[in-house]
A and B are shown apart, each in its own frame.
Chain A
Amino acid sequence: MKTAMNDSNEVLVDCQNVWKIFGARAPAAVKAVSERGLSKKQVLKDFDCVVGVSDASLQVCRGEIFCIMGLSGSGKSTLIRLLNRLIEPSLGKITVKGREIAKLNAAELRDMRARYIGMVFQSVALLPYRTVLENAAFGLEVRGVARDERNKTARAALEKVGLADWTARYPSELSGGMQQRVGLARALAADPEIILMDEPFSALDPLIRRQLQDEFRQLTKSLGKSAVFITHDLEEAIRIGDRIAIMKDGVIVQVGTAEDIVTKPADDYVSDFVAGISRIHLVKAHSVMRPVAEFQSAHPHSDVNALLRTSPEADIGELIDLTMQSDRDAVAVVDNGTIVGIVTTRGLLRGVAGSPTREPVAA
C-alpha cells in the first residue's frame, strides 16, 4: 500500500535549517545561535528564550504524505505553522512551491495560503453560526468566489467526505468525527496542493480515528494532494505517512519511511517509541533476508531453487503465510528473476521481535 514517492518527484515544501525562538530577547538569541551556534540549553540559560524549533530541515514532495510525529512540546505544531507562516521563522529558509514564503508581502501570502496551502485543525475550528455548507465554502468565500460557484464546489467537497446530506445543518448538530470531516472538506474545497493537518484526529475515539485515517489517506492519494500531517501517535503516523519525521525538543531526530524508523531507529528515544509497534506489516523481506551464500553454507543440502518465492517488498505477515504453506522453513526472495536472499524462520522471528536485523553469528 505504501510506495516511495520521493524518488522522481518535485519538492513542494522545502525547509532548510529553520529555527524558531520564542521570548522577549529572541532577536539576541537568534544572533547568538547564528553566529556562535549556541545550543538549546544555552539559549534558555543565557537569554531566557525557549527554542520551539531547532535547526529543522525537511522536504515534502508532490503527492507525498509527510508525517511529523512528536510528543507535546516537541515543536511539531510550531513547525507546521512555520510552513504557512502563521509563525514567522527566526532563522532559516522555507520554500513553498519554489517561493520563499518569508519574502512574500501580506497580499501574496494571503494568496499563497488561499490557493495552495490548506489547513485542518485539531480543534476543527468550525464557525458555529454557519451551516456545514457555509463552513465548507468559507475559504472560497474569502477568496471572493461567487456564491453559486463556491456552494457547488463546497457541496462536491462535502460529498467526497460523505456528508452530502448534512449541508444545511449547523456544526453543533454533528458528531466530532463528522465535524472533522467538515474541516477536511473545507480544506479540500479550496483545492490546495498542500494540506497541513495539525493533529486532526487526536480528539476522536479510536474507531472513528482509524476510519478517518484510512479515508484521509485514500482521499489524499486519489486527489493527488500532498500533506504534512502532525500527530503524537506513532501508529497513526505509520498508517498514514509515506515518510515520517520524529521530533524531540524541537529537533528532528529522524526522517524516513515507517520501515526505516521501525527497523533502524536513529537513537534510544526513537527505539523506545518503536518498541510497542507491531512489525508484521512494516518489516519487509529485504530487511530480514540473509545472503544466499550464507544460507547455502549453513544448509549445504537444500536446493534454493526449490524454495517458495516472494518479492523483496513482501512483509512479515505474507512471509509467515508462505512459510506455513511450505514444508521447508525458508522462503527465497526474488528480485528481477534472480534470488537475492533467503528468509528463514529464524529471520522471521527476529524481524517480529525487532532485534538487530543483521545476521548474527552463524546459526
Chain B
Amino acid sequence: MNLESIQFSPGTYLAPSVDWLNANFHPLFDAITKLVEAVLGAIEAALLFLPPYGVIVIAFGLAAVLVSIRVAVITGVALAFCFLVGFWTASMQTLALVTVAVAISVLIAFPLGILASRYKKLEAAIRPVLDIMQTVPPWVYLIPAVMIFSLGRVPAIIATIVYGVPPMLRLTTLAFNQVPKDLLELGQATGASPRAILFKIEIPSATPTLVVGLNQCILLSLAMVVLAGLVGAGGLGAEVTRGLTRMEMGLGLRAGLSIVAVAILLDRLSRGALQRGRRASAA
C-alpha cells in the first residue's frame, strides 16, 4: 500500500459543508453582513461627521469628565497623532472596526466565561475549543469566512472576534474563580440575592482581572486589523498592507504607529471606565 495515499485532509469534508451553508443559509449570512455593515457604517459616519479637531476636542472632554484628566490627555495625543500622520479616515475606520469586534467578543466571552467558572464541565469542554481558536493561524479561518461573507469588513470582524474571544473568556473565568470565597460567603450570610452577589461582590472583585482580559482582547483584535486589510476591510490595515506591497518603509511605519495610538487610546479608555465603574458599584 502506498503510504502517501493515507492522508487526512479535513478540507475535503469542510469545503462541501461551507458550500452547503452558502447555498442554504445565504439569506442569514446576508442579513448578518448587512447588520454588521450598518452598525460599522453608522459608527464610522459619526466619527467622520465632525472635522478631526472637533472629534479630538469632544473625545478629550468626555474622557476628562467620565474617566480622568490623565486619560483625557492620552486620548487627545493619540487622536492628534493619527490626524498628523495623515491617516485620520483610516484610523476612524479601524477604531470602528475594533470597537464593534471587541464589543461582540465581550458579549460572547463574558457570559460564557462566567458560566464556565460556575460549571467546571463547561470549562473543560470549552478549553480545547479556545486552544484551537488561539493557535490556528487566523489566515486559515479567514478562508471560510471570506467564502461565506465574501470580501470586506464582515469576514475581517468575524476573524477578529474568533481571535478576541479566547483571552477575554479565559480571563473572565479566571477572574470569577479568583473571587475570594469569604466574600461570597458574606454575600450569602447577609441574605443577598444571587443577582446582588453577582453585581455587588463578584463583578467588582473580578474587575482587575477583567480589565486585563479586555486589554488582551483589544490588543489582539488590533493585531488582527492588519490581516483585515488583506481581505479588503480598509482602515489602517489596508495602509500597512500597501506599505508592505510597495516596500514603502515610511508608509508602513506611520500606519503601524497609528495602530499603536489607537491601541493605547482604547486600552486606557476602557481600563479607566471599568475601574471607575468598580468604585461606582458601591454607591
Contact = CB atoms under 8 A, between A and B. Distances in A.
Given A114-B191, A139-B190, A142-B193, A127 B182 contact: no
A129 B192 contact: no
B178 interface: no
Contact of B282 (A114, A127, A139): A127
Contacts of B188: 86, 113
B58 to A, nearest CB: 30
B interface, by DSSP: helix, strand, loop or mixed? helix
Contacts of B282: 127, 129-131, 134
B17 interface: no
A253 interface: no
B98 to A, nearest CB: 29
Contacts of B283: 134, 147
Residue of B186, B205, B207 contacting most chain A CB atoms (<10 Å): B186
A19 interface: no
A273 interface: no
B189 interface: yes
A47 interface: no
Contacts of B278: 129
A86 B189 contact: yes
Contact of B190 (A114, A123, A134): A114
A111 interface: yes
Given A129-B204, A130-B282, A131-B282, A142 B182 contact: no
Interface residues of A, number: 27
Q: For the side of the interface on B, what is the size category? A: 20 to 34
Interface in B182-206: 182-183, 185-193, 196, 200-201, 204-205
A310 B86 CA distance: 99
A190 B189 CA distance: 12
B210 to A, nearest CB: 13
Contacts of B196: 142
Nearest to A183: B186
B191 A112 contact: yes
26 contacts: A84-B189, A110-B192, A110-B193, A111-B191, A112-B191, A114-B191, A115-B191, A119-B186, A119-B190, A123-B180, A123-B182, A125-B183, A125-B186, A127-B204, A129-B282, A131-B282, A134-B283, A138-B190, A139-B190, A139-B191, A141-B200, A142-B187, A142-B193, A143-B191, A147-B283, A190-B190
Which 5 pairs, one residue from A and one from B, show the smallest C-beta to C-beta distance? A114-B191, A113-B191, A142-B192, A119-B189, A130-B282
